[in-house]
Structure 1
Amino acid sequence: MIVCGDDALAERLAAELHGVYREAVTVVVPSARVGEGARAGSAGRAAAALLGRMQAVVSRSARAPGGGSAQEPQILEASGPDEATLVHAGVREAAALALVYDDDETNIHAALAARRLNPRLRLVIRLYNRKLGQHLEQLLDQAAAIAAPGLDLTALDTSTTVLSDADTAAPALAATAIAGTNKFVQADGLLLRAVERTPPGRDQVADPGLCTLALLSATTNDPGGAEGSDDGGQGEVPQLLPDDRTVAAATGRGTVVLEAISHAGPTFSPGRLAGRGLPFGSLFSPRLRWSLTGLAACVFGLAVANWLTAPRTHPLHAGYLTLLDLFAIDDPALGESATRQILQLLSGLAGLLLLPVLLAAVLEALGTFRSAAALRRPPRGLSGHVVLLGLGKIGTRVLARLRELGIPVVCVEEDPEARGVPLARRLRVPTVIGDVTDEGVMEAAKIHRAHALLALTSSDTTNLEAALYARSVKHDLRAVLRLYDDAFATAVYRTLRAAHPHALTRSRSVSTLAAPAFAGAMMGRQVLGAIPVERRVLLVAALDVAGLPQLEGRTIDESFRAGAWRVLALDSAEPNERLPDLASAPSGDGAEHPVGLVWDLHPGYVLRAQDRVVLAATRQGLAELLGRPRRTSAHIPER
């Protein structure tokens, strides 16, 4: 694997490929000796800092058990990812290349050169322009097919994947706000999380979730999110993908179960939190509706009185005369009976009362229609929602993801022209316009009754200040902060966890959130994600059954191999309608995409060649299924 980049994402991606997937990685970083002058000196310092961090990663790898082998990450300094640099990095023999420079043009030039040098190469490109990324994917895949006419790109999983920080970080931020964990996988738009369960009591029944992924060597109840046992191999070791008999016999041991994330809070009507239509009842206020009702009853009573006092008059004619009197367009009742004259005076008085009520109704209806295109205010009884701070590039994608999951959201944004404000208006999401640090803004977002806070502004200090203030209002609030610097994020997380041990805090940098998605794309579209289980890792992958003798023609029960792999779900969509990448988030283009994953599988179902399955597997198990050479623990320890 080759990683080319100039910021923290390259560092995180290399660590993910080496530490989680145990792949051989070569990292191309900018040379610390770039140009002259103040601007070049700043770039040189940034490059030197990145190089120093990468060398620290290699040093930690060498000190780890079984480290110091040829599998350590290799670092290559270069001024840029030109053709000579790519050849020197071994692009002709590489399985995948990630181009994660902060500049789109640099990534595009390097991708074109790499595709020409190796048509079999799997490309992962970081681009901010999503439309350009879609066209670039098609162009590079067509270039690979033309360069190697006899090459089966589908069988080799040769693909071009274009990702952006916003698209990759949004699902992780949404999952952290909802479930409070980073042990999650996205499959066909559904968020799945791995939950550690403590051993059930004597009279309790354990909830198996979708399935049991592992038996833990120890359990933790750290509200800050400790990742299981780290005793260096003392005592029992975790068992990955155990069978039902082993799970039943393992009393007193915690488990890791897989479950789907859903919103368990109160449900709100579409007129309150979502929807694009305007309810008729919101046109007029209750006071105005009562006034109109009273006037209508008064007119009806006058019409009945007119009819009763003139027996020869038809009821419709009596009503017509009443309306004429009401609008003062009838002749005066001169020379008629006193009853008729009194009723005419009362009708005129009702007409005078009707004029201001009609004017108020018109003005209120116009104001309602005008405000329908404006941002909604948070409703009074709202609670259990997510307060989202910032509607920039990241916040917009997170808002779309939360609404797709049916989670109630209240947004806070300082700039009324921000990127996500039109989306909030279209989705009719309650939004507060104002500086989050100003007094009263957080209260307007109902922070005291919120379930979680997502601070996603572009300022680290603003996010931290908002989280600290929210914690002073509600001590047990779940807070998720977007912080740019990894070291600062770690320090904030530890401090907040120590100050509020009973509340859940997560501080996330975008590079940390984006790295797993980029690494999964480099492994191929079949890898949906990785779930850490103490010091080991489970991979979740989507595979076509055709050509896999361990799965094809076998039942669900027969295909299960304890400790190696287990089928979790079956894609029931037609082959020509399936999404090419189940790990991708819904596009949000308004088109309907088939959702065909079936999780409750019958043990006797026979897997066919045209089926696609989602399974959990160890690294060795997935390598065996895909026919890759199995690596020994002497070179790549299973940590």
Structure 2
Amino acid sequence: MIVCGDDALAHRLAAELRQLYGEPVTLVVPQRTGHGARRPASPGPRGRRTSALLGRMTPAVARTAVVSDEPAVDVPLLEADEPDEEVLREAGVERAEALALVYDDDEINIRAALTARRLNPRLRLVIRLYNRKLGQHLEALLDQAAAVADPGIDPLVLDASTTVLSDADTAAPALAASAIAGTSKVVQADGLLLRAVERTPPGRGQVADEGLCTLALLSSTVNDPAGSEGSDGSGTVGPQLLPDARTVAAATGRGTVVLEAIAPASTSSPARRWRAPGVPLGSLFSRRLLWSVTGIGAAALGLAVSSWLATGGSPLHAGYLTLLDLFAIDDPAVAEPASRKVIQLFTGLIGLLLLPVLVAGVLEALGAFRSASALRRPPRGLSGHVVLLGLGKVGARVLARLLELGIPVVCVENDPQARGLTLARRLHVPVVLGDVAQEGVLEAARIHRAHALLALTSSDTTNLEAALYARSVKPDVRVSMRLYDDDFATAVYRTLRAAHPDAVTRSRSVSHLAAPAFGGAMMGRQILGAIPVERKVLLFAAVEVGGHRELEGRTVAEAFRPGSWRVLALDTSAPDHRTPDLATARSTGYQPADRPADLVWELPDGYTLQAQDRVVLAATRRGLAELLGRRSLSLRP
């Protein structure tokens, strides 16, 4: 297998394939120094060992990359600026089983995918692409090219020959859920939202609510401030994934992760706009201007009452005369009584005061309407919201997920050209433009009244600085940070937990959350999503039963392997009418949004799985690697 990329996702994916699936992997990464297509490595025993592992590289272009520290894994490494045809040939794409293109640049991935499909029509392609609509068209194009180039290819193999994924889409549910109390994990399947929530241990005499099923037992050190269950780092005590009923009953005093509910996803309409009904005056005019208008109005009303009492006429006529005097369009009251003259003078004075207030109101309204067409400001009195720091490709997906869940959000972004600003502008989400390091930026986002902070910029130091400042303003605010370095993430998490034991702290890595989905796709099966359970990851996958002796011909109870995998749902649609992508069928318009869901949940334990069935199962990474055996996944006859 070949992995081509330019960031941490490529290294994590190579480690995933090498460690969990036991696959031979070649890693293609940009050169670190110099210019040109490739940088040769110095010859020696290390170069010869790498060349022997790869079998088709010369020591001049081959190097060894350590893609994981625990345990250390060496894979052949090829340094190249871009995966052009020459580089792909040297990496062995013509004889490769699968190719992952996970560059951060969509154009590079597309160009390399077209070249690789021409060189090897049977190659399984996994492409990282941010543009979802373009990904659908590209997937169809590459599958069609494979079918034309090799008419004898198996249709089932063809369905899995090209997979387009987005690391932002894969990690967004977990990142968004980490900032929401009561909703810890969300995965979408066939237009449905699977919500997994953390349950505290039941008290004496209480019965634990297992929901649809228990996905995991949390660590026994979950209340230890120095523990590591909130970070992506390693630790000595971890959660227990996919336990059986006996283990759950015996684990007293431990929290659980439960698949609690399955609710229809609102995919037939755009993401919910978080906005109050109507147009609040507070968003158009400042408080000082509103108080000025109120004072002038009260004075005008008092003068109208005085005119009515002084002249003895009708109240309507008195109010009419007061308005004429207020706007300076009435005749001077020369022949009128003294009381009428005094009232007219005061009314004219109030009219003079009204003129600048009206001008100020018009200017403020114009400014407010102009900002409403661009970016909203956080409304006054806002509280209980989530402050989202960073509107890059990951931040934009997390923002959309939070809005789907109906969570109020205030965004903070330093780059006026960030791709997530377009989404925020369209959905009228309040945005504060500015550097979080500058004083007053987080205050403008109402951090002191916020429920949680999601720091998702590409800079570890910026995210840490925002988290520390938010904790200084509000010590109990829930904090979730995006950190790249695992050791740094673990150290930060433990320190913050020790300093603020009563506050929730989480550190997440996008590549850590996305790598399992890409790894599963490299093995030829569809990964619906990945949810974090403390520092581990639980996968949801759609698997064809046929060809898997661990599933075929077994009942649901017999197919359950504690700690490895568990069947959750059955796809009842006919094999010829099945949706190729359960995760995005509804949301992308692949099929009608009003079509009934084909997934049946809460299967009876006695149901026997047939070869033609397709099931949705929850699995650990190692369990999925064991289930997806190489003999049943080979693309070659």
2:59 corresponds to: none
2:365 partner letter: T
Q: 1:543 to 1:272 in 2, by over 3 A?
A: closer
2:27 corresponds to: 28
Structure 2 counterpart SS, 1:119: coil
Shift of 1:282: 4.8
Question: What are the Cα deviations for residues 422-470 of structure 1, in whole angstroms up to 9, with x where unaligned?
Answer: 4434433333333322333333333344333333334333333333333
Determine the C-alpha separation between the residues in 1 that align with 2:319 and 2:30: 92
- Please say if 1:258 is aligned against 2:259: yes
Structure 2 counterpart SS, 1:177: coil
1:124 corresponds to: 126
Single out whichever of 147-156 and 436-445 deviates more from structure 2: 147-156
Shift of 1:535: 11
CA contact (8 A) 2:386 2:452 kept: yes
Shift of 1:583: 4.0
CA contact (8 A) 2:333 2:344 kept: no
1:100 partner letter: V
Question: What are the Cα deviations for residues 510-531 of structure 1, in whole angstroms up to 9, with x where unaligned?
Answer: 4334323422443456322356
Structure 2 counterpart of 1:226, from 216, 223, 229: 229
Shift of 1:403: 2.7
Q: 1:365 to 1:238 in 2, by over 3 A?
A: same
2:26 partner letter: V
1:98 corresponds to: 100
2:28 partner letter: V
Shift of 1:219: 6.5
- Please say if 1:115 is aligned against 2:117: yes
1:637 corresponds to: none
CA contact (8 A) 2:191 2:587 kept: no
Q: 1:369 to 1:516 in 2, by over 3 A?
A: farther
Residues 54-203 of structure 1 aligned to structure 2 (within 5 Å)? 54=66, 60=72, 75=76, 77=78, 79=80, 81=83, 86=88, 91=93, 95-101=97-103, 104=106, 106-127=108-129, 133=135, 135-149=137-151, 151=153, 153=155, 156-178=158-180, 185-187=187-189, 197=199, 199-203=201-205
Determine the C-alpha separation between the residues in 1 that align with 2:592 and 2:298: 48
Determine the C-alpha separation between the residues in 1 that align with 2:346 and 2:218: 82
Determine the C-alpha separation between the residues in 2 that align with 1:470 and 1:552: 53
Structure 2 counterpart SS, 1:616: strand
Determine the C-alpha separation between the residues in 1 that align with 2:544 and 2:116: 28
- Please say if 1:432 is aligned against 2:432: yes
Structure 1 counterpart SS, 2:464: helix
Shift of 1:98: 0.5
- Please say if 1:3 is aligned against 2:40: no
Structure 1 counterpart SS, 2:176: helix
Shift of 1:112: 1.7
Shift of 1:12: 0.1
Q: 1:82 to 1:389 in 2, by over 3 A?
A: closer
Shift of 1:53: 4.4
CA contact (8 A) 2:480 2:505 kept: yes
CA contact (8 A) 1:537 1:619 kept: yes
CA contact (8 A) 2:481 2:506 kept: yes
Structure 2 counterpart SS, 1:54: strand
1:367 partner letter: E
Determine the C-alpha separation between the residues in 1 that align with 2:552 and 2:37: 59
Determine the C-alpha separation between the residues in 2 that align with 1:588 and 1:349: 65
Shift of 1:534: 9.6
1:266 corresponds to: none
RMSD in angstroms over aligned alpha carbons? 5.8
Structure 1 counterpart SS, 2:470: helix
Q: 1:407 to 1:492 in 2, by over 3 A?
A: same
1:16 corresponds to: 16
Q: 1:601 to 1:353 in 2, by over 3 A?
A: same
Determine the C-alpha separation between the residues in 1 that align with 2:411 and 2:536: 38
TM-score by length of 2: 0.70
Shift of 1:57: 6.0
Structure 1 counterpart SS, 2:178: helix
Structure 2 counterpart SS, 1:202: coil
Determine the C-alpha separation between the residues in 1 that align with 2:616 and 2:328: 76
CA contact (8 A) 2:2 2:98 kept: yes
Give the percent of matched residue pairs that are identical in Structure 1 and Structure 2.
Answer: 63
Determine the C-alpha separation between the residues in 2 that align with 1:181 and 1:333: 71
Structure 2 counterpart SS, 1:388: strand
Could you list the runs of 5+ residues in structure 2 that have no partner in the other structure? Answer: 51-61, 264-270
Shift of 1:26: 1.7
Structure 2 counterpart SS, 1:406: coil
Single out whichever of 353-362 and 591-600 deviates more from structure 2: 591-600
Q: 1:347 to 1:518 in 2, by over 3 A?
A: farther
Q: 1:17 to 1:257 in 2, by over 3 A?
A: farther
Determine the C-alpha separation between the residues in 2 that align with 1:533 and 1:282: 41
Structure 1 counterpart SS, 2:179: helix
Q: 1:598 to 1:248 in 2, by over 3 A?
A: farther
2:408 corresponds to: 408
Shift of 1:625: 9.2
Determine the C-alpha separation between the residues in 2 that align with 1:389 and 1:623: 35
Determine the C-alpha separation between the residues in 2 that align with 1:326 and 1:532: 67
1:157 partner letter: D
Q: 1:441 to 1:42 in 2, by over 3 A?
A: farther
Q: 1:330 to 1:201 in 2, by over 3 A?
A: closer
Q: 1:309 to 1:110 in 2, by over 3 A?
A: closer
Determine the C-alpha separation between the residues in 1 that align with 2:99 and 2:487: 27
Structure 2 counterpart of 1:371, from 361, 364, 368: 368
Determine the C-alpha separation between the residues in 2 that align with 1:436 and 1:536: 31
Structure 2 counterpart SS, 1:178: coil
Shift of 1:576: 12
CA contact (8 A) 2:136 2:164 kept: yes
2:266 corresponds to: none
1:522 partner letter: M
Shift of 1:142: 2.6
Determine the C-alpha separation between the residues in 2 that align with 1:453 and 1:45: 44
Shift of 1:13: 0.6
2:280 corresponds to: 279
Could you list the runs of 5+ residues in structure 1 that have no partner in the other structure? Answer: 62-72, 263-269, 632-639
Q: 1:474 to 1:230 in 2, by over 3 A?
A: closer
CA contact (8 A) 2:385 2:407 kept: yes
1:468 corresponds to: 468
CA contact (8 A) 1:86 1:114 kept: yes
Q: 1:584 to 1:451 in 2, by over 3 A?
A: farther
Q: 1:572 to 1:362 in 2, by over 3 A?
A: farther
Determine the C-alpha separation between the residues in 1 that align with 2:465 and 2:298: 52
Determine the C-alpha separation between the residues in 2 that align with 1:199 and 1:317: 74
1:110 partner letter: A
CA contact (8 A) 2:173 2:185 kept: no
TM-score by length of 1: 0.70
Q: 1:205 to 1:388 in 2, by over 3 A?
A: same
Q: 1:210 to 1:373 in 2, by over 3 A?
A: farther
Determine the C-alpha separation between the residues in 1 that align with 2:282 and 2:190: 38
- Please say if 1:384 is aligned against 2:387: no
CA contact (8 A) 2:296 2:350 kept: no
Determine the C-alpha separation between the residues in 2 that align with 1:517 and 1:430: 32
CA contact (8 A) 1:194 1:257 kept: yes
Shift of 1:301: 4.6
Determine the C-alpha separation between the residues in 2 that align with 1:253 and 1:621: 23
Determine the C-alpha separation between the residues in 2 that align with 1:630 and 1:114: 23
Determine the C-alpha separation between the residues in 2 that align with 1:295 and 1:82: 78
- Please say if 1:447 is aligned against 2:451: no
1:28 partner letter: L
Determine the C-alpha separation between the residues in 1 that align with 2:117 and 2:323: 81
2:357 corresponds to: 360
